[in-house]
A = this chain, B = another copy of it.
Amino acid sequence: MDFLQAYTVRINEGLEGINLPSKPSNLYDPLRYFFTLGGKRVRPILTLLAAEKFIGTDSETDALNAALAVEIFHNFSLVHDDIMDEAPVRRGQQTVHKKWNTNIAILSGDVMLVKAYQYLNSYPAATAKKLIDVFNKTAIEVCEGQQLDMDFEKRSTVGQEEYIEMISLKTSVLLGCALQFGAIVGGADTNAQNALYGYGLNMGVGFQIQDDLLDLYGNPELVGKQVGGDIITNKNTLLMVIAKREANEEQLNTLETLLKETNNVKKIEGVLSLFKILNVEEKCRELMNLFYNKAEVHLDKVELKSDKSGLWSLTELLKSRSY
């Protein structure tokens, strides 16, 4: 998708152009490091697309600061989440708390969050207030999602509804927020703002479900990581949530035994075979498509000044990935 390339370049240039003091270096070096680690920049691209393609081309430049705020916030949440998840690697490089230490990761994450507000508050007062209202709500929801995710890790069963709520809060609301930002900056009315938000929210849920599916059913050559990684680590994915709900007592016992299996190949094969009996993949795909369809219904509602091709292309790109 060549048209996305230009957006990615602008976001990366924007991130590199952020004026950070040299001192204290232990506070600002992690920001410089993390902002240039790369990443798909999906969220800020959504903001630029919503502003430019949907509302009117004139607003394109203006949307950059809102787009950067979204990406900076996303980076903040990754830095803090990586501490909580004890993740050593992010985007192929050391995480901030590994490269420096936990204290530095906490504090530089805090500064990132404030920086996001600086970019939002760079707009004229009325626009800034609207952006910050949406942002506050979203930021709190993302924290709630992360807390639910941590809570769920300690539980053996999680319901489908609460699982969907968790992924919705943890990741999808920020996609909705990113699109709504573009609409706000582009001067769209409340209906269009809400429709774009709904599109992003539902796309995000679909996308996350797809993530769960791809881990087990994706093309291993394209995924670039071990197939069934979620199974090996006993992660509560939607697949597992559905399986536990659909299983009878005997199948539940089989599953419990499999979760303790130390031979990974045997473990994955066993789980795959049980998932097949329980129609887990199919049920999961149905749910994914339900959210993708909901997303499209929202997008249909938006009246545009420009054509929808940009966002449709992005949608298709996200949906069609087999890795």
Contacts and interface: CB of A to CB of B under 8 A. Distances in A.
B136 A117 contact: yes
A117 B121 CA distance: 11
Interface in A103-146: 103-104, 106-107, 109-111, 113-115, 117-118, 121, 125-126, 128-129, 132-133, 136, 139-140, 143-144, 146
Taken together, the copies of this chain in the complex come to 2
B125 A143 contact: no
A151 interface: yes
B128 A114 contact: no
Contact of A111 (B117, B143, B150): B143
Q: Classify chain A: how many residues form its interface, as a range.
A: 35 or more
Given A27-B143, A147-B24, A84 B106 contact: yes
Nearest to A21: B144
A83 interface: yes
A264 B84 CA distance: 38
A26 interface: yes
A80 interface: yes
A84 B102 CA distance: 8
A144 B21 CA distance: 10
B147 A27 contact: yes
A121 B133 contact: yes
Nearest to A143: B111
A147 B117 contact: no
A83 B103 contact: yes
A140 B125 contact: no
Which of A104, A111, A121 gathers the greatest number of chain B CB atoms within 10 Å? A121
A125 B184 CA distance: 15
9 contacts: A24-B147, A27-B144, A80-B106, A80-B107, A103-B150, A107-B146, A115-B140, A121-B129, A129-B129
Interface of A: 21, 24, 26-27, 80, 83-84, 102-104, 106-107, 109-111, 113-115, 117-118, 121, 125-126, 128-129, 132-133, 136, 139-140, 143-144, 146-148, 150-151
Given A84-B106, A117-B136, 5 more contacts: A27-B144, A111-B140, A117-B117, A118-B136, A128-B132
